[in-house]
Structure 1
Amino acid sequence: MQREAWQKVQPNDQEVKTFKQRAKALLTLRQRELERESSSNA
């Protein structure tokens, strides 16, 4: 029974993977925006 509860706490590998991919994509997007801003300001 304790093992089942523990597995519920553990995040799904697939979910973690998609979450990391999404975070990476957002980060890349933000960096691109910043680059565009700095280039237009220069």
Structure 2
Amino acid sequence: MHLTHYTRILMLCVGFQYIRTFLHLCQGNHHILLLHTASP
């Protein structure tokens, strides 16, 4: 039970880091798309 709880916390931390990195990449791509669209 304790091992399962520890694994769940570890998965949560890894998932949070992955989601934060994914959102950061999406935001960066969005800015790049805006720059390409704005440039004549």
Q: TM-score range by the shorter chain?
A: 0.7 to 0.9
Q: TM-score, normalised by structure 2?
A: 0.73
1:18 to 13, 18, 21: 13
Is 1:40 aligned with 2:30? no
RMSD: 1.5
What is aligned with 2:23? 28
1:3-42 CA distance string (max 9 Å, x none): xxxx6xxx71111000000000000000000000000111
Q: Which of the pair is proportionally richer in helix?
A: 2
Task: Find the structure with the greater CA-based Rg.
Answer: 1
Point out where structure 1 has 5 or more consecutive residues left out of the alignment: 1-6
Q: How many residues align?
A: 33
